[in-house]
């Protein structure tokens, strides 16, 4: 990358599980009607940025969102399973009340702010490292000064933003990485001093 470019992070549109308050993790529910409309609205807003490339998580809700973006921007999205949401193991598909009953210690620790391995899955920090590494590889693979779009998931993107900010790859205007709502996006300047692939686990 010869000069600063822009990275556009997009959270997928809403699913029925989002609406019901069920933990999704790496389970694969599709967009609901609201989610499709959120994807179309996001696509209309981002088309003016003229992105050069789009990559998304391979989970249905993210890929469907990316396909809508691609159709509006004249691009075919790539997919990368490393952009998936935090794996939540046995928590996937259940709601808060059931999680509190079935996994009381984990739920109490998580509710108190601990980064626990819920349901035998992965921690948010582990997912953040995975997603951040995928973003770096994508940036170096496309090698463009035009904006590029990454479509992923709320917790995974929040954690990855923490990693990317700590490494100086992106700059945030907020003290803490935001948790994007369904269909929300964030446009970030990318430093030309971005880490090369292969160094993503050094920090």
Number of other residues whose CB lies within 10 A of the CB of residue 32: 19
| Helix or strand holding residue 102 (H, E) | helix 96-102
Q: Which of 63, 85, 106, 122 is catalytic?
A: 85
Q: In this structure, are residues 161 and 136 in contact, taking their beta carbons and an 8 Å threshold?
A: no
Assess whether 85 carries a catalytic annotation. Answer: yes
Backbone angles phi, psi at 178, to 5 degrees: -75, 155
Q: Are 168 and 193 in contact (CB under 8 A)?
A: yes
Report CA torsion sign: 26, 167, 79, 15.
positive
Active site residue 201: no
Query: What does the alpha-carbon distance between residue 192 and residue 203 come to, in Å, rounded to a whole number?
Result: 18
C-beta atoms surrounding 48 within 10 Å: 8
Task: Say how many Å lie between the first and final Cα of the chain, rounded.
Answer: 21
Catalytic, out of 12, 63, 153, 195 = 12
Q: What residues are annotated to the active site?
A: 12, 85
């Amino acid at each position: 990358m010869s000069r600063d470019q822009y990275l556009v992070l997009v959270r997928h549109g809403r699913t029925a599980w989002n609406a019901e308050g069920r933990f999704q993790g790496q389970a694969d529910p599709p967009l609901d009607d609201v989610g499709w409309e959120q994807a179309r609205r996001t696509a209309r807003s981002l088309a003016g940025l003229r992105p050069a490339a789009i990559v998304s998580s391979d989970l249905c809700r993210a890929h469907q969102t990316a396909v809508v973006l691609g159709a509006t921007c004249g691009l075919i999205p790539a997919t990368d399973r490393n952009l998936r949401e935090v794996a939540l193991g046995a928590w996937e598909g259940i709601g808060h009340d059931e999680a509190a009953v079935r996994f009381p210690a984990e739920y109490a620790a998580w509710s108190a702010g601990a980064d626990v391995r819920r349901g035998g899955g992965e921690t948010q920090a582990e997912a953040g490292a995975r997603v951040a590494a995928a973003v770096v590889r994508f940036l170096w693979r496309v090698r463009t000064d035009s904006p590029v779009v990454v479509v992923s998931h709320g917790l995974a993107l929040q954690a990855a933003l923490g990693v990317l900010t700590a490494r100086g790859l992106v700059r945030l205007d907020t003290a803490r990485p935001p948790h994007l709502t369904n269909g929300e996006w964030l446009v970030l300047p990318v430093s030309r001093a971005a880490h090369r692939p292969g160094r993503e686990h050094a920090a």
